[in-house]
Amino acid sequence: MVYQVFDFNLNDSSFGGMLAKVNSFTDVGQGGILGIFILIVVFAPLFLMMRSYGNERAFGVSAFVTGVLAIFIRILGLINDAVLYVCVILAVIGAIFLIKEASNYES
């Protein structure tokens, strides 16, 4: 009997279904890497583009945007809860950095 390593049967032909199927190919019990890769691809360029405004500002904005994006990616089921918790914690730390930075400009 021949077994398939990858199950290429696609039951849901929507975009979300195809993403979930591709993500399941890299699932080793803790979720696939597609969602994590999307978060890295968003965080890194955003951080590097904003470094001209200072590292704390760049990290704050990048972490906040990545945290919000992680919530939406979790709704799609592309990341697991642990990755979501890490992104939300980083978003809170980034928000604290931004609040601290904004307090420098208050009279």
Tens digits of residue pLDDT in 2-40: 566 666 677 777 877 777 777 777 776 666 788 889 999
Q: Which of 22-36, 64-78, 81-95 has the lowest mean pLDDT?
A: 22-36
Q: State how far the Cα of 50 lies from the Cα of 88, in Å rounded to an integer.
A: 20
**pLDDT for 63:** 94
Residue type, 102: A
Whether the pLDDT of residue 67 is over 60: the answer is yes
Average pLDDT, the chain: 85
**pLDDT for 107:** 60
Between 27 and 75, residue with greater pLDDT: 75
Residue type, 104: N
Whether the Cβ atoms of residue 50 and residue 85 lie closer than 8 Å to each other? no
How many residues make up the chain in this entry? 107
Which whole number is the average pLDDT over 50-70?
92
Query: Which one, of 28, 41, 32, 45, lies nearest residue 80 by Cα?
Result: 32
Q: State how far the Cα of 87 lies from the Cα of 70, in Å rounded to an integer.
A: 7
Residue type, 12: D
Tell me what percent of the chain is helix, strand and coil, each rounded to the nearest 5.
70, 0, 30
CB atoms within 10 A of CB 101: 14
Which whole number is the average pLDDT over 77-95?
92
Which whole number is the average pLDDT over 82-96?
93
**pLDDT for 23:** 77
Q: State how far the Cα of 30 lies from the Cα of 44, in Å rounded to an integer.
A: 23
